[in-house]
């Protein structure tokens, strides 16, 4: 918007450099904000709250604070994360003001009233432990021998409902027994520094002889949704490059394909640039994969490859993520257990496929309740990997037409 306005004004104003900065921006584009401003020009840095504490940019004199931030929160009733625009805290507002004039005298212009600052803003940002899933936290505390979590002296006590859901999920994953104690699988899962569902997936990979592939999938999932880069001036090229990685079966196999091709290129940064893939994210995924591979011996999982048999990979993923499943009904996709309406994210390789049964990595509320990183599965796999969690009856198609018993005559009877 700023660049468009500058183009319209043309020579009526001095040259204005408009530079964005946010966490998933490629490193070379992030570095542009630190480059000296040309003589006679002005620099505008449009930033997320990454700029509150992490950065000091030479020559920044003025700060415009809109008074809002994007904040992740977690709803334990739906198991859904949401990224919502909310008023920032007073602590954040003060940090933003501190960005002005770090190296010279400066000013901060707050786009809200002094009354709003005093009466509408919270003193501090809500601690992350109170707005996130607690599976990892509970597993860690259990592994440290802390069993009475309801009365544990947290610095910032998390919601009771979120804590209870984490215990239920760990029990469903087989990490806890009916007494709330760690099982053998639970101790192994606690050794792996990833989400419990990813840990379970890695342990299951030994059964399906695909630990090489599952390590890659786990590493790629751990870097969130920052694999592909989509510059606004090359949207068509970026989308075409992403489609070239698509494989039948779903997004987890796409991530596996991206990493495999990058490894075959010799972990090339040039390959990443040509394919609109974030080199920094891939490098982080490689580090995570190497770390996980080094821990396999400790959790008694041997290295093995499925040799292209991706059904085994999909079954291993299902063993970790059976908690996150949805099926296609006449009214769209609904989660199996809670019957919540959900949608495939438009960036998914399965967006136009509409498979009957899906597994998703996470559920995120933005404009809709989107499933991110989805995988096509068979309902029979759920009974195979989690017979304690699913019953055959709840996996039946309620709209399927059933043939009436013993009506009409057989061919033999008709003669």
% residues pLDDT > 70 (the chain) = 92
Strand partners, 69: 86
The ranges of the chain with pLDDT < 70 are: 1-3, 5-13, 54, 225, 397-415
Q: How far apart are CA 38 and CA 74, in angstroms?
A: 44
Select from 178, 217, 228 the least CA-distant residue to 345: 228
**What confidence score (pLDDT) does residue 403 get?**
43
Task: Spell 205-214 as b/e; 16+ CB within 10 A means b.
Answer: bbebbbbbbb
**105-146 per-position pLDDT tens digit:** 889 999 999 999 999 999 999 898 998 889 999 999 999 999
Q: How far apart are CA 350 and CA 354, in angstroms?
A: 7
Query: Going from the N-terminus, what domains does the chain have, and what CATH number goes with each?
Result: 2-130 (3.40.50.300), 135-315 (1.20.120.1080), 324-395 (no CATH)
Please give the C-alpha separations between residue 85 and each of 95, 96, 226, 272, 286, in angstroms, as whole numbers.
Answer: 18, 17, 20, 32, 33
DSSP assignment of 361-411: EEEEESSSEEEEEEEE--HHHHHHH-TTT--GGGGS-TTSPPPPTT-S--H
Q: For the chain, what's the residue count?
A: 415
**238-297 per-position pLDDT tens digit:** 999 999 999 999 999 999 999 999 999 999 999 999 999 999 999 999 999 999 999 998
Strands 357-365, 332-335: pairing is unpaired
Place of tokens 């709209």: 399
CB-based contact 192:295 (threshold 8 Å): yes
Select from 131, 281, 154, 135 the least CA-distant residue to 194: 135
């Amino acid at each position: 918007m700023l660049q468009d306005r500058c183009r319209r004004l043309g020579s009526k104003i001095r040259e204005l450099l408009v530079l964005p900065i946010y966490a998933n921006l490629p490193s070379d584009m992030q570095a542009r904000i630190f480059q000296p401003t040309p003589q006679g020009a002005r620099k505008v840095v449009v930033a997320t709250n990454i700029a509150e504490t992490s950065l000091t940019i030479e020559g920044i004199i003025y700060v415009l604070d809109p008074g809002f931030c994007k904040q992740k929160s977690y709803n334990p009733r739906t198991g859904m994360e949401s990224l919502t625009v909310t008023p920032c805290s007073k602590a954040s507002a003060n940090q933003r003001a501190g960005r002005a004039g770090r190296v010279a005298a400066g000013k901060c212009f707050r786009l809200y009233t002094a009354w709003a600052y005093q009466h509408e803003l919270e003193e501090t940002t809500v601690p992350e432990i109170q707005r996130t899933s607690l599976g990892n936290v509970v597993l860690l505390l259990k592994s440290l021998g802390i069993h009475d979590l309801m009365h544990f002296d947290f610095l910032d006590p998390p919601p009771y409902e979120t804590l209870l859901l984490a215990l239920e999920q760990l029990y469903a994953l087989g990490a806890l027994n009916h007494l709330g104690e760690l099982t053998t699988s639970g101790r192994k899962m606690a050794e792996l520094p990833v989400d419990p569902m990813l840990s379970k997936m890695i342990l299951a990979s030994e059964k399906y002889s695909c630990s090489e592939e599952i390590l890659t999938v786990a590493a790629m999932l751990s870097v969130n949704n920052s694999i592909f880069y989509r510059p606004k001036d090359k949207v068509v090229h970026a989308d075409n490059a992403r489609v070239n990685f698509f494989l039948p079966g779903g997004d987890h196999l796409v991530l596996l394909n991206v990493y495999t091709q990058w490894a075959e290129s010799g972990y090339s940064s040039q390959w990443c640039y040509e394919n609109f893939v974030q080199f920094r994210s891939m490098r982080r995924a490689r580090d995570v994969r190497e770390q996980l591979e080094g821990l396999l011996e400790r959790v008694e999982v041997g290295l093995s490859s499925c040799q292209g048999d991706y059904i085994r990979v999909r079954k291993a993923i299902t063993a970790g993520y059976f908690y996150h499943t949805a099926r296609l009904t006449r009214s769209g996709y609904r989660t199996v257990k809670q019957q919540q309406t959900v949608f495939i994210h438009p960036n998914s390789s399965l967006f136009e496929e509409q498979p009957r049964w899906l597994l998703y990595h996470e559920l995120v509320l933005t404009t809709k309740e989107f499933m991110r990183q989805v995988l096509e599965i068979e309902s029979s796999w759920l009974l195979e990997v989690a017979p304690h969690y699913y019953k055959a009856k709840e996996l039946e198609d309620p709209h399927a037409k059933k043939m009436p018993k013993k009506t009409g005559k057989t061919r033999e009877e008709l003669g």
